[in-house]
């Protein structure tokens, strides 16, 4: 496993982070608690010490399951979780107010069975609450010992000027990035540079399309979010373009004796300096597959090829 020390923090984390969205056990087809608990155990065996979740994943289920799975090993890991997304009657709203942060954090700590969160992340800025009020509350919670550091997620380029005064205070910035999704790359790179923070990517396997398990006939049951058109990676022309990327990855994987998943993650780690790839898994073998990305690198030629074909698609 590869590790890095986060900027602005006394935290050393694995460059593979186990993502907790599927652990919410909602919208990912059939999922089983025993598999997630086994995946957490597998993470320890592989040297993964970084876990990412959010209070909205399964409306708290992901945090509850992560807390259960970590148990007495909690002190051995770094937990990154998020606040600010509310879902009521199927409708999503954003709330970044200090009052909501205070309530949300206490609920998170209870679900995670811990006294503190290592990295507490503004999931989506509501664009109403002034950033200085949010940062002041984060600092208050830090001084109270409930959080150690904080991060920012899904910040668009146009929003960055509002956060620029807080350079050096955030340790991670997150957004979607993979060979199947390059559309947020400028936002992500700019956020990292503006705030002097490490990049963490979500959707790192394109919701699974980069694993090589799917073809043009990919289909999912109604209880799997990927059945919806909004998950564009598995629909229409976007699916066809993604499959072209997969074909380009195959000889590279063969040359290195690696899997397609590990090549997809290696691209992130090599293309984005000092980055962390967040990988959501439903079963322990998926994490073992992805972990093979460590200990080697893409050649400059391979990196250029994948960069070009993923931009073209």
Per-residue pLDDT of the chain in tens (313 residues, 90 and over written 9): 999 999 999 999 999 999 988 777 677 778 788 999 999 999 999 999 999 999 998 888 999 999 999 999 999 999 999 999 998 877 889 999 999 999 999 999 999 999 999 999 999 999 999 999 999 999 999 999 999 999 999 999 999 999 999 999 999 999 999 999 999 999 999 999 999 999 999 999 987 889 888 777 777 777 777 777 777 777 778 888 989 999 999 999 999 999 999 999 999 999 999 999 999 888 888 888 888 888 899 999 999 999 998 986 5
SS3 content of the chain, % helix, strand, coil (to 5): 50, 20, 30
**Nearest residue to 50 via CA among 86, 82, 14:** 14
Written as six digits, the tokens of 307 are 């960069």
The correct answer on CATH 3.20.20.70 for the domain covering 3-207+274-296 is: no
Read off the pTM: 0.90
**Catalytic residue check, 32:** no
Catalytic-role residue among 3, 26, 32, 57:
57
The HSE-up count of residue 124 (CA atoms within 13 Å, CB side) is 10
Give me the residue spans of the domains in the chain: 3-207+274-296
């Amino acid at each position: 496993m590869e590790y890095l020390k986060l900027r602005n923090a006394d935290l050393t984390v694995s460059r593979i982070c186990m993502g907790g969205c599927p652990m919410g056990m909602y919208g990912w087809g059939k999922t089983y608690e025993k598999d997630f608990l086994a995946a957490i155990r597998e993470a320890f065996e592989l040297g993964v010490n970084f876990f990412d979740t959010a209070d909205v994943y399964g409306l708290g289920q992901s945090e509850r399951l992560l807390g259960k799975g970590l148990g007495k090993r909690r002190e051995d890991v770094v937990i990154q979780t998020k606040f600010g997304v509310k879902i009521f009657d199927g409708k999503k709203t954003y709330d970044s107010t200090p009052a909501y942060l205070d309530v949300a954090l206490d609920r998170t700590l209870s679900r995670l069975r811990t006294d503190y969160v290592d990295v507490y992340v503004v999931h989506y800025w509501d664009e109403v609450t002034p950033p200085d009020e949010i940062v002041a509350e984060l600092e208050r919670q830090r001084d109270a010992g409930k959080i150690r550091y904080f991060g920012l997620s899904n910040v668009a380029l146009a929003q960055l000027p509002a956060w620029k005064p807080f350079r050096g205070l955030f340790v991670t910035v997150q957004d979607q990035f993979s060979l199947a999704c390059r559309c947020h790359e400028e936002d992500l790179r700019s956020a990292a540079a503006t705030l002097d923070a490490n990049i963490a990517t979500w959707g790192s396997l394109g919701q699974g399309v980069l694993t090589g398990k799917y073809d043009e006939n990919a289909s999912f049951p109604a209880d799997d979010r990927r059945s919806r058109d909004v998950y564009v990676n598995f629909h229409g022309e976007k699916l066809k373009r993604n499959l072209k990327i997969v074909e380009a990855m195959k000889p590279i994987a063969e040359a290195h004796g690696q899997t397609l998943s590990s090549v997809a993650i290696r691209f992130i780690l090599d293309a984005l300096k000092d980055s962390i790839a967040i990988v959501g898994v439903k079963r322990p073998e998926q994490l073992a597959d992805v972990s093979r990305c460590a200990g080697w690198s893409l050649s400059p030629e391979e990196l250029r090829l994948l960069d070009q074909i993923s931009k073209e698609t």
